[in-house]
Each structure stands twice: as C-alpha cells, then as structure tokens.
Chains A and B, each alone.
Chain A
Amino acid sequence: MKPVYIILCVIAICSTGWAQDSTLKAKKWDLNGYIKNLESFGFDKNFRNLVTGNLLHNRINVKWKPVKNYTAAIEARNRLFWGDEVKNSPNFTSLLRNENDWMNLSAIWITKSNFVLHSSIERLWMEFRKPKWNVRLGRQRINWGITKTWNPNDIFNTYNFLDFDYEERPGSDAVKLQYIFNDLSNIEMAVSASDDIDKTIAAARYFINRWGYDIQLLSGIYQKKFTAGFGWAGSLGNVGYKGEGQAFIAGKDSMNDFNYALELDYAFKNGWYISGSVLHNSRGIDEPVNDWSKISFRFSPMNLMPARWSFITTTSKEFTPLLSGNLTLVYSPQVNLFIIFPSFKYNVAANLDADLIWQSFFLELQNRFQATNHRVFVRLKWSF
C-alpha cells in the first residue's frame, strides 16, 4: 500500500475524531482548510478558440500538539479536474506532481480522457522546539524569500507567481535546524532530499535585525553548485525597501548564475498600495524570440523569469472592506514580454470569497509585438 493512502486515512480519521469531540481536543488539534471551485477560460490571441478548465480543489490542514515542545502537521490537497484542459493535454497527470518532492506522496484516483482526481500530501512534518533551538523534519516549506514576487533567496522551493491558485506554494522534503542566538539573530540550516543525490540542496541562513533592517546571509550547495546570497528588508523614509541576491558558482563545464531583485513599496492613507520591483537573471534571454514556447514559466531558483531583466508593479486598493482590486503589470525589455494581471476579490459572506482574475500575455514575435494568449478565471472559495 502506498504511504499516501495510509496518510490520507489518518487525516480522515483525525478530521472525524476532531469534529466529534472538538471541545476536549481543541487545544491539541487544529483543523482548517477550504473548498475552491475554479473555472478557467483560455483564449488565443484573438479571443477565439475557447479552452475551458474546471477544478474542484479541497485542502485540509491538521496540526497536532501531542505533548509540550512537539508539533506535527499534515496538509493534503485533493483536486478534481475536468474540461478541455484535461482533454487537450495528453500528459496532464505528469504535470501535477511537485518537482521538489523526494517521496511520492501523491495518488491519482481516477484518470479518464477528460477527468482526473488527484490527491497529494503537501506538508508532513514533526517539529521539536526549545527556547534556543528547534528542529523540523519532513515535507515543509523553507521560506527564505523576503520580497513579494521574485525570491532569489528561496532556494529550496521556488514557486510560480502566476499560479495564484496555489497560495501555500510547494514544500520540500527536508530537515531544518534553527539555533536562536538572541531576540534579533538566529541561524537556520537545512538539507533537502532528492531521489538524485546530485539534486540535493544544503544551505544555511544567518539572520539579524539591525539598524531597522532585517538582514540575511545565505550559503550552501545547490544541486552540486556552490551558492551564496544576501537579502534585506528595511525602509527609506516611509517607503519599504527590500532586496535579495543569490549567486550560483558552477564547475568548469557549466556557467555561473546571479539573480537579484530590488523592491520598493508604499501604502497611501486612502487605501491605495503600490509596489514595484526589478529582477535581473544573469542567464535570462536578452533578445526577441521567434517562438512562444521558448518562454518557459517553469521556474527554478536560478531561473525566476525567462528574461534577463524583468519589472513588476502591483497596485492594489481596498474599495470597501469586502471588495478589493489588484493590478499587476510585468514587463521584460529586450524580449518584449508583457503580462497584464488584474484581479478582484469580493467577500460574499464571512467564510466565502469570490475572485475574478485575468491574465493576458504579449510578446514580440517575428518583429511584431502581439498578444499571445488570454486567460480568465472565476473562483469561489469556502473556508472552514
């Protein structure tokens, strides 16, 4: 029996047990999650050839505190896909697995030509915590990123900023040890496992808060390459000022990489918020491409955007406490890639949110700047 089945059974038992006896066990157990329905409509550059996709998505998060100092967590997501998107992609199920995973803790329950039911364990960790140190073992998210969108320091589990429906982002199978020097400084060391030893990541991060700045220094081995990085978060007057940089030094037969991101953000009194950042990818593309397929949005810590330079601005506004809007614009010069990404969120009831999201992609192809495709999403999310 695959381990994923056993874990899913444990979650099911925990969930029902908790529900029956919540008052007694409330302190030891914590259960939450959501059910989402996402309808997607994909169009070609001329708003023709509609491709629809449907996703029913459930996530269950369970935290367990059996005794003092110990915490365990299991988080699972179950996704039911149907529609043209499944039908048109012959390798659809192969795209569902997280590339960072060492153990395969996912299961495909049903695969039909236009219908797939998939479950995966997203987090599965045990933590032991003392005042000065703590250790966490298992599938977890090691989040060393500081800035909003592009995180060169997030070397364990890069995420795709366009994948708005994956709020929790991927984790990795790892062990992480933290030692706390004092209130304002600590060190974290982490090693992630991979089925291929050459893909192992082992790194340490030193963190300190000084002069009103969060400052971090990173160093380690990333898939056989030596890596070192730095990051900070502070302010220039009332403006937030953040940055991250990460270098990857390769052996003789491959090339070095350097990625860095700078970010400024500001909140206005009347509820408007703006942020802007720039990302430099030393090995990104710096000229127009002839083919859309050359622009890959499968990201890695060394490749956070396909282009050498990328700029992003985000403007958001809370129109009312229930309705907020967000407009994200991404532009990569040289390649001439442009993404427009507006979204609206409406809180229908205390635990029910509705979202409308739009993504349009534009690119210079054959000396002509043109639209390539458009996607519209409608989402309902019920949290529990």
Chain B
Amino acid sequence: MRMGLRFAILLIPVSFVLQVAAQDARSIVKKADEKMRGSTSQATILIKSIRPTWSREMEIRTWMKGNELAMVLIQLPVKDKGIVFLKRRKEVWNWMPALEKTIKLPPSMMSQSWMGTDFTNDDLVKESSIVNDYDHTIIGDTVIDNRNCYIIRMMPKPEAAIVWGKLIVCIDKQEFMELHIRFYDEDGKLINTMNAYDAKIMDGRLIPTRLEMVPADKKNQKTVMIYKSILYNKAIEDGFFTTERMKVAGR
C-alpha cells in the first residue's frame, strides 16, 4: 500500500509533464490543420502524376467544410470533365455526367488511390482528422528550407479507422505549415513521403502551394499538387453538399 502510494506520487509529475507535452503537440498540429483547412475552403488544384516514362495532368475544384463535408469536381482532362465526388459524413457518392447517374461508393473505396494518383480518397476529402484521430508527441526539432520545425510523431488512436500505422510530421514553428510528412504502414514500413514547397500568401494566409507525394518503393514516381487558388472561411451552406447539388456543380 505504502509502496503503491509512493509510486503514485512519483508518477504524478511525470504524467503531468507528459500531458502538457502531448497538449502542446496536439495544439501545434491543430493550429497547422486549421491554417491549411480553414473552417471552409474552396480551391482550384492542379494535380500532376509523374512516372518514369509518362506524366498526366488533372485539374480539380474542391469545396470543403470541416471534416465531414467535401465536394470535388474534375475540370480536366476533358474526358473526365464534370465528374463529381461528394462526401457527407461517412457516405461518398460519385456523379457521372455522361450517364447522368449518381453512384454510391462502398466505404472501402476511401483507402483506394484517387483517380490513379498517389493520393487516396481519404487524403483528398480528409475523412480522418489529423487532430482527433491521432495521439501526438513532439520528438525533436529540425530545419527545412531555413524554417525551424517541430518533429511530431502521430500514432492513430486504436478506435480510429486509419490506414496508416504512424505519421512523422514536421511543422514550421513560426507559420505552422506542415512541410514534411512521412506515412508508415502498420508494420512500420515507410510508404509515402510528402514534401511541401512554394509558400505563398493565399487569401491572406501563408501556405505551401506545392505538395509532392513520393511513394517510397517506386523510383521516379510522384504526384504533385499545386494550389492555383484557394479561398478560406467563405460561408458554404450544408445544403451545398448534397447529391442534388452535386449534379449541377459542374455547370
């Protein structure tokens, strides 16, 4: 009993310190997430798929509100123009304009590559929250492009449906930009590395405008995402994120 009490007293400050550190790591990630995401965002993004022998370009428009509502409209290439993806909470639909058909996608589709890129559906519509679905720990500092960064380890919470086993994220200490992310699978193997470049002021905030996703096991392959324009915190009603509005998003 006495032993137990002493042990408990000893533990208090340690766990307190750990908790404060965890809080810090979480609030840093939260700040970075809020900066890139805003309460709502509307963006035009160029996506380049680069492979050793070929490359393709795609242009999309996105509308996002929080973690739960997202719409993605394909503008290029012309053969896919007008195709729309809608996410509303846990449900995802696809509008095929040529067929005038709404197709509900199975939940398992979220972990699939999105339109042949190195991004998954989940990366694009951000179903999982880097703030709420992970436990965060600061594990060091580094310098990227002359910016001092925190190195934060993110482990998915057991109850969260996350495809990754671990994330290592580098966040700029001053501007809270996510400049580097490593994605590991459940066996601890590195799968993807994301690097962010070209910080520019877009709609009043400094954000990286070029994100490159590089798969670890494929040589000379990457997907580049370039933000052509982005608007933050413009009110978008929930009614915009519906299967009916999805049908006219491309008009």
A interface list, Cβ under 8 A from B: 30, 32, 34, 63, 65, 71, 129, 140-141, 143, 145-146, 148, 167-169, 178, 180, 183-184, 186, 209, 212, 214, 233-235, 237-240, 242, 265-269, 271, 273, 318, 320-322, 347, 350-351, 353, 381, 383-384
Q: Is the CB of B77 within 8 A of A351?
A: yes
Contacts of B79 in A (CB 8 A): 34, 351, 353, 381, 383
Nearest Cβ on chain A to B82's Cβ, whole angstroms: 8
Q: Is the CB of A141 within 8 A of B100?
A: yes
Contact of B99 among A169, A212, A384 (CB under 8 A): A169
Instruction: With A32-B78, A212-B90, A383-B78 as known contacts, state yes or no: A238 contacts B108, CB within 8 Å.
Output: yes
Q: Is the CB of A240 within 8 A of B105?
A: yes
Q: Is the CB of A271 within 8 A of B99?
A: no
A71 to B113, CA, bound (A): 34
Q: Is the CB of A321 within 8 A of B108?
A: no
A302 to B213, CA, bound (A): 50
Contacts of B244 in A (CB 8 A): 178, 180, 186
Chain B 92-122 interface mask (CB, 8 Å, partner A; 1/0): 0000001111111111110111011100000
Q: Is the CB of B98 within 8 A of A167?
A: yes
Q: Taking CB as reference atom, which chain A residue is nearest B161?
A: A238
A226 to B104, CA, bound (A): 29
Instruction: With A71-B251, A321-B116, A322-B54 as known contacts, state yes or no: A183 contacts B242, CB within 8 Å.
Output: yes
A353 to B91, CA, bound (A): 31
Contacts of B107 in A (CB 8 A): 235, 237-240
A384 to B78, CA, bound (A): 6
Q: Is the CB of B239 within 8 A of A183?
A: yes
Contacts of B111 in A (CB 8 A): 267, 269
A322 to B221, CA, bound (A): 14
A129 to B245, CA, bound (A): 11
CB of B41 within 8 Å of the partner chain: no
Interface SS, A side? strand
A289 to B139, CA, bound (A): 73
Instruction: With A269-B112, A350-B77 as known contacts, state yes or no: A129 contacts B104, CB within 8 Å.
Output: no
Q: Is the CB of B56 within 8 A of A347?
A: yes
Contacts of A353 in B (CB 8 A): 79
Contacts of A183 in B (CB 8 A): 238-239, 241-242
Q: Is the CB of B112 within 8 A of A143?
A: no
Contacts of B144 in A (CB 8 A): none
Shortest 8 CB-CB contacts between residues of A and residues of B = A321-B116, A240-B106, A383-B79, A233-B104, A238-B108, A267-B109, A267-B108, A238-B107
A148 to B241, CA, bound (A): 23
A-B contact pairs, 21 of them (CB 8 A): A141-B100, A143-B99, A143-B102, A146-B104, A183-B239, A209-B91, A214-B104, A214-B243, A233-B104, A235-B107, A238-B107, A238-B108, A267-B109, A273-B112, A318-B113, A321-B49, A321-B51, A350-B77, A353-B79, A381-B79, A383-B77
Contacts of A145 in B (CB 8 A): 101
A178 to B238, CA, bound (A): 20
CB of B163 within 8 Å of the partner chain: yes
A183 to B113, CA, bound (A): 29
Contact of A267 among B77, B106, B163, B241 (CB under 8 A): B106
A135 to B233, CA, bound (A): 33
Q: Taking CB as reference atom, which chain A residue is nearest B109?
A: A267
Contacts of B117 in A (CB 8 A): 321
Q: Taking CB as reference atom, which chain B residue is nearest A235?
A: B107
Contact of B108 among A214, A239, A351, A381 (CB under 8 A): A239
Q: Is the CB of A318 within 8 A of B116?
A: yes
Q: Is the CB of A268 within 8 A of B116?
A: no
Instruction: With A143-B99, A143-B100, A318-B116 as known contacts, state yes or no: A32 contacts B81, CB within 8 Å.
Output: yes
Contacts of A322 in B (CB 8 A): 54, 56, 116
A212 to B56, CA, bound (A): 35
A321 to B55, CA, bound (A): 10
Q: Quick one: which of B190-240 are within 8 Å of A by CB? A: 238-239
Q: Is the CB of B108 within 8 A of A242?
A: no
Contacts of A180 in B (CB 8 A): 244
Contacts of A383 in B (CB 8 A): 77-79
Instruction: With A212-B90, A240-B106 as known contacts, state yes or no: A129 contacts B77, CB within 8 Å.
Output: no
CB of B248 within 8 Å of the partner chain: yes
Contact of B251 among A63, A186, A242, A268 (CB under 8 A): A63
Contacts of A234 in B (CB 8 A): 104
Supplied contacts A267-B111, A318-B113, A353-B79, 14 more A-B pairs, CB within 8 Å: A63-B251, A65-B251, A148-B103, A209-B243, A240-B105, A265-B106, A266-B106, A267-B105, A267-B112, A268-B108, A321-B117, A350-B56, A350-B77, A351-B77
CB of B57 within 8 Å of the partner chain: yes
